[in-house]
Structure 1
Amino acid sequence: MDEHGRFSTGWIIAIYGSAAVLSIAAAMHGLTDGKELWVLAGLVTLVLTLTTLPVCLAARSSGNEEKDQSIELDRIRTQIRSLNDTMNTLNETIVLSDDARRVLNRRKERDLLCKAIEEDIQLEDWDAGLVLVRELAERFGYRVDAEQFRARIERARAQTHDKAVHEAIAGLEGMIASHEWEQALNEAARISRVFHEAPQVDGLRHRVISARDRYKQNIERRFLQAAQNEEIEEAMSLLREMDHLLSEHEAEQFQEVARGVIGKARDNLGVQFKMAVHDKAWDDAASVGERIIEEFPNSRMASEVRDIIDEIRGRANTMKR
């Protein structure tokens, strides 16, 4: 300082230069470690340094000793001391080791870690949550909190797993109820692969096969009963379902009955067709004729119907006008 108690120009430049260097160092440290607070602190200090330096130098170069000038110099000296204190604090923070900073920020980091664990629980990201739990226990020493979180995660994971298993099995039961046997077998295999550790999935394939066998037996019994009772329409409907359900070997025992049912169904349709034509009920005749062609395409009756079906359709359309 000079005889008036003012900092010399060299001191001012040295102080402001050091402040600028430390500000830049703090900002670079923040950018490197991804800490926005450090970047902000460095930039603010740098801006403050660059904006007050010209004012300070101008005031220093002025020889005016008036009262206003003295007040201004006092204010500048106060700013310089404040800047110097800030610079010292920033310097001390920069030279702190990672472990020392962790001790200072321990409570804050614990709160952030707990919040992250809560978010993982909400997102059902169990493995990520357990990694953070280990961090909480081993790195920060909060073992009681860590065990509480671990218990919550394990309990929530078990509940979610059980719910998923029950929903999958419910979907499988729906396929069984809808007689979607092929899809049910594929779904049973998928559930067994995905939830192989769950005891509820044991025997799912056997459950599907048993349900399918019971259904086949019921269809076969109903078919034989309908054929015996001369319920030809019902027997034909069941026969079509059996055609998709039974293997060739399984269907052999029903071939004779099936031939009789098919013959009677064809004859019945033939009678209905002839009666409709005789009564000039052209709509009915066209409908029955189309059934004959569709259900018995290779029969002689179907060939005869094809020869006259266009004429019958034309008459049916004429009657509608």
Structure 2
Amino acid sequence: MEDSNKSRDVWLMILFALLLLAGLAVLVLGVREAIGQGEYVTLGLGLLAVTIPASLYALAGSKSGTGDMGLYIQEQNRLLKSINDRMLISDQAKRIAFRQKDRDALREAIIEDLRQEDYDAAMALVNEMADEYGYREEAEQFRQQIIDVQAKKREVMIQKAVARIDELCERKDWDLAKHEVSRLQRLYPDYPTIDELPQRVAKAVNKHKLDIERQFLEAAERDDVDAAMELIKEMDKYLTPEEAAPFLETARGVVGKKRQNLGVRFKMAVQDRDWIDGVRVGEQIIKEFPNSMMAKEVREMLDTLRERAASQRAAMAGGQKA
């Protein structure tokens, strides 16, 4: 019986020795990973793998001759519990040691996202800093910084868009200005400055209408018929029938004078045998007063006038060569 116990103890010690060697191999690997990669999991496992077999090996050797296996098992359990407690303490110490490192890494990642203007990613890291790591005060500071940066950037973009709308209004490109306003309303529906833009464009349109009306009345008053006629065409784009009503009488007078002036110029060109000018004035009469009796008379003469104008040009060209 005693020989059997000795044989068992020998085999146990051999087993513990093999486990110890394996633990040493894991420990060496863990040291390399800790130095090269900053990973400490394998190192912890290696320490555990070395400590347990070494302790059991020594304990088994001291108990090999007593036969007190009950006490031997109790001491093994106590040793394992002690090792487990040490590992728990070691893990906690490791978490404390790397707490600041994790915090610094998280902070650097947030700052980098802000530099890249990736505000959604930065805000996700801020939430992680508050919820998972418990750095709520610092997370709140970052959160406010992100909100402020986004607000400032949005303000700059809106200012540029408003300046473009003003430029479009200066160019009288009302359709494009209104399109730009609609785009901004979709992007920033709750922004006070955007809410004022439709009225801004409407005010610019109304000012342009008033300017046209004033310029028309001034041109008519000084008998600048050509300018007044151009302004009538411009007014027709903006004024409703109700808005145009006060200007109808003046406009009729301007149109009448314009037609009369063109008629006089046409007759003088024909009388002076200035066929080239006669064709030009006649075509203008047909274009601006297509349904008038005067336009009908000009059409009947226009083919003949064009032939004479062509001959006149040829004669003028021959004279220049001579």
TM-score when normalising by structure 1? 0.61
Which residue does the alignment assign to 1:179?
172
Change (3 A) 1:204 1:88: closer
Which residue does the alignment assign to 1:169?
162
Say whether 1:314 aligns with 2:306: no
Residue type at the aligned position of 2:232: L
Contact 1:286 1:316 in 2 (8 A): no
Map 1:17-56 onto structure 2 (within 5 A).
none
Contact 2:110 2:122 in 1 (8 A): yes
Q: Which one of 81, 93, 97 corresponds to residue 42 of structure 2?
A: 93
**In structure 2, how many angstroms separate the alpha carbons of the residues matched to 1:119 and 1:288?**
73
Contact 2:225 2:257 in 1 (8 A): yes
**In structure 1, how many angstroms separate the alpha carbons of the residues matched to 2:44 and 2:313?**
99
Unaligned runs of 5+ in 1: 1-13, 19-80
Residue type at the aligned position of 1:311: E
Which residue does the alignment assign to 1:294?
287
Which residue does the alignment assign to 1:113?
106
Q: Which one of 100, 111, 117 corresponds to residue 124 of structure 1?
A: 117
**In structure 2, how many angstroms separate the alpha carbons of the residues matched to 1:246 and 1:266?**
23
**In structure 2, how many angstroms separate the alpha carbons of the residues matched to 1:316 and 1:107?**
98
Q: Which one of 200, 220, 230 corresponds to residue 227 of structure 1?
A: 220
Which residue does the alignment assign to 2:193?
200
Q: CA deviation at 1:145?
A: 4.0
Q: CA deviation at 1:86?
A: 2.2
**In structure 1, how many angstroms separate the alpha carbons of the residues matched to 2:132 and 2:103?**
10
Say whether 1:261 aligns with 2:257: no
TM-score when normalising by structure 2? 0.61
Change (3 A) 1:298 1:125: farther
Matched residue of 1:274: which SS?
helix
Contact 1:226 1:232 in 2 (8 A): yes
Matched residue of 2:172: which SS?
coil
**In structure 1, how many angstroms separate the alpha carbons of the residues matched to 2:172 and 2:41?**
76
Q: CA deviation at 1:82?
A: 7.0
Contact 2:27 2:42 in 1 (8 A): no
- Identity rate of aligned residues, in percent? 40
Which residue does the alignment assign to 2:88?
none
Matched residue of 2:280: which SS?
helix
Change (3 A) 1:94 1:291: farther
**In structure 2, how many angstroms separate the alpha carbons of the residues matched to 1:116 and 1:315?**
85
**In structure 2, how many angstroms separate the alpha carbons of the residues matched to 1:310 and 1:147?**
84
Unaligned runs of 5+ in 2: 1-17, 34-39, 46-90
**In structure 2, how many angstroms separate the alpha carbons of the residues matched to 1:280 and 1:116?**
88
Which residue does the alignment assign to 1:133?
126
Change (3 A) 1:82 1:278: farther
Residue type at the aligned position of 1:298: N
Which residue does the alignment assign to 2:139?
146
Q: Which one of 186, 199, 207 corresponds to residue 214 of structure 1?
A: 207
What is the RMSD computed on CA atoms of the aligned residues?
Answer: 3.7
Contact 2:30 2:42 in 1 (8 A): no
C-alpha offsets along residues 258-312 of structure 1, whole Å, 9 cap, x if unaligned?
A: 2221121122122223333444444433433332232222233333434335425
